[in-house]
Amino acid sequence: MPFQEADLVGRLPEKFTCPFDRQPHAVAKMAAVQLQIHLQEQRVWEHNFGLRNGQEGPVIGKMFGVLVVQAEQGELGFLAAFSGKLAGSNHHAYFVPPVFDSLTEGSFLNLGMAALTQLNNQIKALSTETPTVGNQVLQAELMAQRKLHSLALQEQLFEEYHFLNQGGEVKTLRQLFKKESGKNPPAGAGECAGPKLLQYAFQHKLQPLAMAEFWWGQSPKSVHWQHGHFYPACQEKCAPILAHMLQGLID
């Protein structure tokens, strides 16, 4: 997206600003303000952030992010992204796409989730029948099958997320978390705004200059994020990913 304010001479950072800083660079805040205006004015999609009375659906606040970039020809602009899904979709005009689209029709994930649903229904049906030795054995077998299927699906999902850095090096979600902590990635890793923004920038030969993330919507019960406030990139889901993606930018 182009900046509405054209004169940015002398206002750009000398080097990429760390996304783990608590206060983003001023130019990133400028981009964030433009995105916030877009969120208030757009009428293409409907999402209940808990900011207006009378909206349908559950209240779900979102972390949004902006990345100020410079093209090879010198043009300045910014990219925008949201964490997870927005209005039930991974794709919306104005925003970069996900690193991996898990909602693609006919994808291994959708097919795998359908198989899990079928197993759950079979297990539930058996639990409502009169207990017999045969039923209990079959139920135990189905539960073991469900566990294996779920683990295999999760393993495959970890391998579908491929993250670039400025040098063109690619690593999977599994590789990054195994290297950092020796553990599997937490749920939702790779779906935050920061990795989406950097991935798109590297894919399109855009030079990242500054990033900012802010919470939009009602505060969730589990954390103290407040509407319109800026926050650093999260440690649990993003630190291992960004350590790879930011090589050469903040080293």
Q: pLDDT tens digits, residue range 13-26?
A: 888 988 888 789 99
pTM, full prediction: 0.85
The residues facing 214 across adjacent strands are 64, 230
Between these two residues, 212 and 158, which has the higher pLDDT value? Answer: 212
The pLDDT mean for the chain works out to 90
Percent of the chain with pLDDT strictly greater than 70:
97
Cα–Cα distances in Å, from 234 out to 66, 73, 76, 119, 132? 15, 32, 27, 35, 49
pLDDT on residue 92: 96
* Distance from C-alpha of 74 to C-alpha of 165, rounded to nearest angstrom: 20
pLDDT on residue 57: 87
Beta strand residue intervals within the chain, DSSP E: 62-70, 76-82, 162-164, 170-172, 207-216, 230-231
Please name which of 39, 84, 95, 65 lies closest in space to residue 231, comparing C-alpha atoms. Answer: 65
The DSSP 8-state label assigned to residue 22 in this structure reads: S
Tens of pLDDT, residues 26-56: 999 999 999 999 999 999 999 999 998 888 8
The DSSP 8-state label assigned to residue 86 in this structure reads: B
8 Å CB contact between 1 and 34:
yes
> What HEC string does 197-212 produce?
HHHHHHHCCCEEEEEE
Is the pLDDT reported for residue 111 higher than 70? Answer: yes
